[in-house]
Amino acid sequence: MNIGEATKASGISRKMIRYYEEITLLQPGRTANGYRVYTPQDIHTLRFIGAARRLGFSVPDVKALLALWQDRSRSSADVKHLTNGHIKELRARVTELNAMIAALETLARACGGDDRPDCPIINRIASTADPNST
């Protein structure tokens, strides 16, 4: 199938399919005149990539997962180790996001939300952006 059909079958955009090819996550065949040709296995691989990306795995981790998926002699311990590392990263991001939410909630409470131009939210962002404020 061509790239348009692969997009429909996999749910992955043309742009992302081309990107995955560029970084060698996917290597479809080519016709004599250079057009990409996608097999059912390529579609399966694209769906695998899409599922891993939706779970938040980085491109390098997706590459590692693909290698493990394609290696029938893999150890599930390797997959679990990779996944546990990803979980640790996600938990750290959640902690960072919760800190951002708390900071923004504090600033929002301090803001009068009226017609005056004075705004603690803008003041805080501006003071953080000022290189002389450190």
Share of the chain above pLDDT 70, in %: 99
Residue 7 vs residues 15, 36, 93, 128: alpha-carbon distances, Å = 9, 12, 31, 43
For residue 124, give the nearest of 72, 116, 113, 111 by alpha carbon: 111
- Tell me the whole-structure pTM to 2 decimals: 0.81
Question: What pLDDT, in 10s, does the model give residues 94-124?
Answer: 999 999 999 999 999 999 889 889 999 999 9
Domain ranges of the chain: 1-72, 75-134
Residue 94 vs residues 58, 101, 105: alpha-carbon distances, Å = 16, 10, 16
Query: Under CATH, to which class is 1-72 assigned?
Result: mainly alpha
Asked if pLDDT for residue 82 goes beyond 70, the answer is yes
